[in-house]
């Protein structure tokens, strides 16, 4: 079963380091690039645990072209075979997130279309290597980025810069007080991984997140035993997502609908009540299904709750964000029960906020949002499935309880331009017909890439260090 | 959005394969058809489905189904794995139907585009404009139609 000591720490543990950056590169000649990796992977911790302060932490992920380029002369790994064996939604260029085959179904249309991604500076296809840096301070970040970038240039790597951004990269920090730009407390939920394969209640199989251990329930790629499965062992596929948050539009939505919500809010602040109904948690992090009437006196961050006795969504609407993206015990449709014999798809989520807090009032035109990294063992069945479900809620028969429920959207994340989608938030209430609030776009996607974060053994293989 | 699947496989012409094809045809009504019926009926994703053989040289699986291609490939693989294994084994390069990547790749390559162009902007599995698929009810999904038919019958 999965070996935590072989897994990059970013995937198995969150970090408390507040300052974060994502750098993206195109790889030049493979030899110097491997040597560059060899010098910098010493800063990549493995396995669960705390990393002492004082040194930067770096984590590495690659696109398929980047991996194939670095492994082209690796005798045991035939890249043509790797193209066939790795997840097709990672290795097949026609199945990239910005491809015509996938973009529309994943909600990447209108202002979120790939034509608008990466500030117009490059395309997802250009990305070979992503380095995630985590730092104790801005000063530490500055020193590390200077050294790393100088070395990268010498190694023939071309940085894919974002000149309109801090550090010319995706830079940001863990949010102040743990609150993201829409005001919600973040980092509340997580998964307990069943490392010892004991099937303990409330735990998740490592096969949900780490490749190299396929079975019938989790037929991960590479599926076939051999060099590619060995290479991929203890790695994760990673969805990198850059997301703009339109806080002005979100706050205006809460204000505009407060009067209609007030008679149903049980004395709670109606704007906070609407915010909770959209997210599925009060903004202090307390789950709505457990605290349906009002925010508790102190935040309830218990993650052990479900929706099985709230099928109609009276406590937590079916289209609330946390319910769409993590169904817990909600019943799936027949086809999805067949797809997911071990329950709804799950993701390990890491990320940070960027941009200053919204000062309130009118839109200030400032770019602010989230950079997310979503780890899983199967890109299409997990990362892309959740993205699809946010755009159209046809995944559970429970949605039949709302008018045109199969065509609803994630109340926070849905792209309202999705053809055929019903773009109202349906909020059941106990004292009358359900409220229907016309939703608007609260987020725009500014870039997505499908990557692979190798295990430590594979990372050393990619670097100039070929010791096993 | 409704998509057409026109899975078309050249059948190997050796005696063993042709014997297995004959056997498949013999057992189709009693063993294969009910299994496909059960899975597709309960999924409420598929409008129509049929399997046909042309001159013992080609076998086709032809369906019209709702949802994006990539969304439900894994459902079809899991729900009908033994049947797809039997059908695919008649062709060269048959994938291991336990391997989702191989199954997806094989199905993608075997899907033949119909003539014309989809009137509803549908895309094929590689994102090209899909071929034409006529719908008498404007591509309304099965899940929308079935309740209305039940209401009408009541």
Question: Span A433-461, mean pLDDT?
Answer: 97
Which pLDDT score, from 0 to 100, does residue A9 have? 96
Rounded average pLDDT over A450-459: 97
The beta-carbon neighbor of A335 closest among B75, B96, B99 is B75
Listed residue (A317, A318, A315, A279) closest to A397, CA to CA? A318
Q: Is the pLDDT of residue A464 over 80?
A: no
Average pLDDT over residues A48-62: 92
In A, minimum Cα distance to B80 occurs at: A338
Q: Which two tokens stand for residue B67?
A: 């949802």
A103 interaction partners in chain B (CB closer than 8 Å): 127
Where residue A220 falls (left for φ over 0; alpha for ψ -120 to 50; beta otherwise) is beta
The C-alpha atoms of residue B52 and residue A197 are separated, in whole angstroms, by 45
What average pLDDT score do residues A163-189 get? 89
Least confident range from A49-58, A202-211, A406-415, A440-449: namely: A49-58
Write down the mean pLDDT value for chain A.
94
* Through-space distance between the first and last CA atoms of chain B, rounded to whole angstroms: 28
Looking at chain B, list the stretches that DSSP marks H as alpha helix, in order from N- to C-terminal side.
15-27, 33-43, 69-79, 81-88, 100-110, 142-153
Nearest-CA distance from A125 to chain B in Å? 16
Angle CA A220–A226–A230, to nearest 5: 65
Tens of pLDDT, residue by residue over A217-237, are 999 999 999 999 999 999 999
Does the beta-carbon distance from A406 to B144 stay under 8 Å?
yes
For residue A195, cis peptide bond before it (omega within 30 degrees of 0): no
Around Cβ A438, how many Cβ atoms within 10 Å? 11
Is the Cβ–Cβ distance between A430 and A231 less than 8 Å? no
pLDDT tens, residue by residue, B25-74: 999 999 999 999 999 999 999 999 999 999 999 999 999 999 888 999 99
Nearest CB among A99, A223, A419 relative to B101 is that of A223
Q: What percent of chain A stands above pLDDT 70? A: 99
Is residue A346 a contact partner of residue A193, using CB atoms and an 8 Å limit? no
- Compute the nearest-CA separation of A16 from chain B (Å): 36
CA distance A104 to A110: 9
Omega cis (within 30) before A222: yes
A51 vs B: CB within 8 A? no
Residue to mutate among B38, B101, B111, with most A CBs inside 10 A, is B101
| d(CA A100, nearest CA chain B) in Å | 4
The ipTM value here is 0.94
Nearest-CA residue of chain A relative to B45? Answer: A335
Nearest CA in chain B to A420: B1
Matching residue, tokens 């699986």: B61
Radius of gyration of chain A (CA): 22
Helices B69-79 + B33-43 axis angle, to 10: 140
pLDDT recorded at residue A404: 82
Angstrom distance (rounded) from CA B7 to CA B24: 17
Coil, helix or strand for B63? strand
User: A with B: how many residue pairs have Cβ under 8 Å apart?
Assistant: 89
φ/ψ region of A254 (left if φ > 0, alpha if ψ in -120 to 50, else beta) reads alpha
Q: Per-residue pLDDT tens for A91-150?
A: 999 999 999 999 999 999 999 999 999 999 999 999 999 999 999 999 999 999 999 999
Mutate which of B2, B35, B71, B85 to test chain A, going by most A C-beta atoms within 10 A? B71
| φ and ψ of A405, to 5 deg | -60, -30
Q: CA gyration radius for chain B?
A: 16
The alpha-carbon gap from A324 to the nearest alpha carbon of chain B, in Å, equals 16
State whether B71 and A105 contact (CB < 8 Å): yes
CB contact under 8 A, B101 and A88: yes
Interfacial A residues in 95-124 facing B (CB < 8 Å): 95, 99-105
CA distances to A71, A270, A345, B102 from A223, rounded to whole Å, are 19, 51, 19, 9
Residues of chain B with a CB closer than 8 angstroms to some CB in chain A: 1, 39, 42-45, 67-72, 74-75, 78-79, 96, 98-102, 104-105, 121, 123-128, 141, 143-144
* Buried b or exposed e, range A211-226, using 16+ CB within 10 angstroms: bbbbeeebbbbbbbee
Cβ–Cβ gap A94/B75 under 8 Å: no
Among the partner-chain residues A339, A388, A406, the one whose CB lies closest to the CB of B68 is A388
The Cα–Cα gap between A261 and A298 comes to 23
| pLDDT band, very low/low/confident/very high, at A468 (cuts 50, 70, 90) | very low
Contacts of A333 in chain B (CB under 8 A): 43-44
| Residues A265, A273 contacting (CB under 8 angstroms) | yes
Contacts of B99 in chain A (CB under 8 A): 219, 221, 223-224
Instruction: Determine the distance in angstroms separating the CA of A342 from the nearest CA of chain B, rounded to an integer.
Output: 13
CA dist A67 and A343 (Å) reads: 31
Task: Identify whether the C-beta of residue A223 lies closer than 8 Å to the C-beta of residue A229.
Answer: yes
Chain A hits for B69, CB-CB cut-off 8 Å, are 101
Q: Hey, is A175 helix, strand or coil?
A: coil
Determine whether the interchain pair B101/A380 forms a contact, defined as Cβ–Cβ distance below 8 Å: no
What is the least distance, in Å, from the CA of B54 to any CA of chain A?
30
The 3-class secondary structure across A146-157, one letter per residue, is: HHHHHHHHHCCC
Residues A407 and A326: beta-carbon distance below 8 Å: no
Q: Where are the alpha helices (DSSP H) in A86-130?
A: 88-91
Give A334's contacts in chain B (Cβ within 8 Å). Answer: 42-44
Query: Does the beta carbon of A464 lie under 8 angstroms from any beta carbon of chain B?
Result: no
Using an 8 Å CB-CB cutoff, list chain A residues near B39: 338
SS3 of residue A375 by DSSP: strand
CA angle A60, A63, A68 (to 5 degrees): 105
Task: Report how far residue A347's alpha carbon sits from residue A165's, in angstroms, rounded to the nearest whole number.
Answer: 28
CB atoms within 10 A of CB A447: 27
Report yes or no: A219 at the B interface, CB cutoff 8 Å: yes
pLDDT for A467 equals 43
Q: Pick B125's closest partner by Cβ from A101, A103, A384.
A: A101
Our CA-based measurement puts residue A31 at a distance from the nearest CA of chain B, in whole angstroms, of: 30
Count the neighbouring beta carbons within 10 Å of the beta carbon of residue A355.
Answer: 17
Nearest to B143 among A87, A102, A406 (CB): A406
Q: What is the pLDDT of residues A152-164, one digit of tens each?
A: 999 999 999 999 9
Strands B2-10 and A192-193: unpaired
A406 with B102: Cβ contact below 8 A:
no
Contacts of A102 in chain B (CB under 8 A): 70, 127
- Give the tokens for residue B11: 């059948």
Distance CA A2, CA A206 (A): 6
**pLDDT attached to residue A465:** 52
State how far the Cα of B48 lies from the Cα of B68, in Å rounded to an integer.
16
Q: Taking CB atoms and an 8 Å limit, are B75 and A336 in contact across chains?
A: yes
CA distance A425 to A322: 14
User: Which residues of chain A make contact with B128, given a CB cutoff of 8 A?
Assistant: 100
Residue A410 has pLDDT above 90, yes or no: yes
């Amino acid at each position: 079963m999965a070996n935590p000591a072989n897994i990059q720490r970013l995937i198995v543990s969150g970090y408390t380091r507040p300052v974060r950056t994502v750098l993206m590169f195109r790889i030049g000649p493979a030899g110097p690039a491997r040597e560059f990796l060899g010098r910098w992977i010493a800063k990549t911790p493995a396995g669960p645990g705390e990393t002492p302060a004082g040194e930067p932490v770096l984590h590495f992920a690659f696109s398929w072209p980047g991996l194939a380029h670095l492994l082209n002369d690796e005798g045991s790994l035939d890249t043509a075979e790797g193209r066939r064996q790795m997840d097709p939604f990672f290795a097949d260029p026609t199945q990239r997130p910005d491809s015509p085959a996938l973009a529309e179904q994943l909600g990447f249309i209108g202002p979120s279309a790939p034509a608008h991604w990466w500030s117009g500076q490059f395309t997802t296809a250009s990305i070979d290597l992503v380095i995630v840096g985590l730092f104790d301070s801005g000063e530490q970040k500055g020193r590390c980025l200077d050294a790393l970038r100088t070395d990268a240039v010498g190694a023939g790597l071309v940085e894919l810069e974002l000149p309109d951004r801090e550090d010319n990269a995706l830079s940001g920090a863990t949010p102040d007080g743990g609150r993201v730009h829409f005001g919600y407390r973040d980092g509340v939920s997580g998964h307990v991984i069943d490392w010892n394969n004991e099937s303990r209640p409330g735990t998740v199989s490592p096969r949900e997140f780490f490749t190299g251990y396929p079975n019938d329930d989790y037929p991960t790629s590479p599926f076939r035993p051999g060099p590619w499965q060995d290479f991929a062992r203890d790695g994760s596929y990673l969805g990198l997502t850059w997301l703009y948050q339109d806080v002005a539009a979100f706050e205006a939505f809460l204000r505009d609908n407060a009067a209609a919500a007030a008679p149903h809010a049980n004395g709670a602040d109606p704007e906070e009540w609407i915010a909770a109904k959209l997210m599925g948690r009060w903004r202090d992090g307390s789950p709505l299904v457990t605290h349906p009437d009002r925010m508790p006196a102190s935040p309830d961050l218990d993650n052990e709750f479900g929706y099985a006795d709230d099928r109609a969504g009276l406590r937590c609407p079916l289209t609330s964000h946390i319910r769409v993206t993590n169904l817990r015990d909600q019943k799936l449709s027949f086809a999805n029960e067949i797809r997911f014999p071990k329950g709804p798809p799950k993701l390990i989520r890491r990320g940070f906020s960027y941009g200053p807090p919204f000062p309130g009032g009118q839109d200030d035109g400032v770019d602010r949002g989230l950079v997310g990294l979503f780890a899983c063992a199967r890109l299409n069945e997990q990362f892309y499935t959740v993205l699809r479900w946010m755009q159209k809620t046809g995944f559970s028969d429970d949605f039949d309880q709302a008018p045109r429920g199969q065509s609803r959207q994630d109340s926070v994340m849905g792209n309202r331009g999705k053809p055929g989608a019903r773009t109202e938030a349906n909020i059941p209430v106990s004292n009358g017909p359900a409220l229907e609030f016309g939703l608007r776009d609260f987020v725009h996607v500014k870039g997505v890439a499908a990557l692979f974060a190798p295990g430590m053994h594979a990372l050393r293989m990619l670097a100039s260090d070929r010791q096993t | 959005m409704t998509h057409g699947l026109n899975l078309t496989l050249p059948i190997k012409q050796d005696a063993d394969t042709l014997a297995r094809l004959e056997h498949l045809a013999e057992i189709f009504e009693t063993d294969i058809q009910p299994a496909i019926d059960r899975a597709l009926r309960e999924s409420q994703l598929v409008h129509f489905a049929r399997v046909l053989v042309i001159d013992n040289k080609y076998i086709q699986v032809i369906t019209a189904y709702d949802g994006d291609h990539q969304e439900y490939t894994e459902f079809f693989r899991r729900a009908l794995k033994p049947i797809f294994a039997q059908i695919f084994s008649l062709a060269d390069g048959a994938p291991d139907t336990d391997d989702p990547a191989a199954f997806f790749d094989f199905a993608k390559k075997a899907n033949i585009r119909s003539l014309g162009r989809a009137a509803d902007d549908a895309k094929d599995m590689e994102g090209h404009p899909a071929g034409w698929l006529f719908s008498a009810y404007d591509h309304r999904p099965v899940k929308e139609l079935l309740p209305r038919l039940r209401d009408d019958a009541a």
